[in-house]
Chain A
Amino acid sequence: MDFRGIHDRLLAVAAPGLLGHDLPRPSNPADKKDKGRAGDPFVWVEPALLPAFLEVCRDDPRLAFEILVDLSAVDPSKDDPNMWVVVQLLSLSFRHRLAVKCTLPKASAALPTSTPVYRAAQWHERECAEMFGITFSGHPDPRNILLPEDWVGTPLRKDYVFPDEYHGISCK
């Protein structure tokens, strides 16, 4: 199925939390500021309902997203009060992909864990949590995965300040 077909199906089964979609579009020659958007289409989903949404994606016989390929976050800019969580799904039966995006406020970045739906999400969420400071409530093992347990700060946020030293090791 192409993206339009997937989106129609999501509407037909009333997937919980579906907010809308975003398609790539060419630039507008009349408006110089409008540069358009390249790349892949994706759907917007409400963060609190992400696990429920993923469950529908996995179990619906015509969507059948068997694999959660990736779960990560994006901090678009220093000035933006929000950041995104992005999930990449893959269906082996129908050979299609879907990108799912949620907007989270940076000040209180929290959403429920998707680990009960896809076990693959467990490690990706741990990485996401330490790198972006997102709380995945209900996560079975919320330790740091790549960073040391006592690391200060969330490195992949745009406002991250690099430390001067770590346990006596100079980072300059």
Chain B
Amino acid sequence: MTLNHDDWGKVARMMSKRSLWMVHFCTGCGAMEMPPVMTSRYDMERFGMHAMATPRQADVFLVTGYLAVKTLKRVVQVYEQMRDPKYVIGFGSCTINGGMYWDSYNTIKDLSKYIPVDVYIAGCMPRPEAIIDSFLKLMDMIDKGEAIGWKKYHKYYDQYKKNQRMAYAYRLDEVEDIKEDDAK
């Protein structure tokens, strides 16, 4: 029996879905829900997931809550440091539509305008069961080859970058004069 390229992709996806490492980057209130998920009560290590300190060794990025524009710069930088394939989980209603910060002048409202999001978890805050459920959903999507956010980021890079610059500048126009290295 010989395996062609597609079959090897299937094998790779099957392997990688059981060893997802998560960037340990917490923003907003969602960070409070992570300790029970990570520790013995809900124990996400059952699924082969654990927290990793550096983005370059991680596969999953949990954006745990609201993002100020200043934080968005750091999130984008962390996301771009991660190696492909990489997956983003938007956590709580703040990443979906702003949540309770819907009219705040300094928080972004929809995360998927700035970086591609594979799975959203609704709720304010989502319970650990919901988080575990989203992990299983993500694993399922990886297995089927549906979690392609990172491919979208390559393909529509210009659109994502343009949106990011608009937010950084707090303006819809004249976005060309914003320096790339603002977040450093």
Q: Does B bind A?
A: no
